[in-house]
Homo-oligomer: A and B are copies of this chain.
Amino acid sequence: MCEANAYIDHEGKEELFMESVDIIKPEAENRLLIMNIFGDQKILHGKIKKISLLNHKILLEKIK
């Protein structure tokens, strides 16, 4: 399976935001819809920093 884990970068420290992510959909300026393979959804007020598919890793940045 090719899902990835999403982490929020806090000044270099990575905090798990969601496991087994399937969908990433920017919905508006600095607003991301993220859905896992089970259909659970989360909204992040933030943006994508980097996605590495081979590493199964999505790095996000929260915007205050």
Contact = CB atoms under 8 A, between A and B. Distances in A.
A64 interface: no
Given A1-B54, A37-B54, A53-B3, A47 B26 contact: yes
Contact of A22 (B47, B48, B52): B52
A22 B50 CA distance: 10
Task: Classify the secondary structure of A's interface with B.
Answer: strand
Q: How many copies of the chain does the oligomer comprise?
A: 2
B26 A52 contact: no
A25 interface: yes
A19 B54 CA distance: 14
Contact of A53 (B22, B26, B47, B48): B22
A1 B52 CA distance: 12
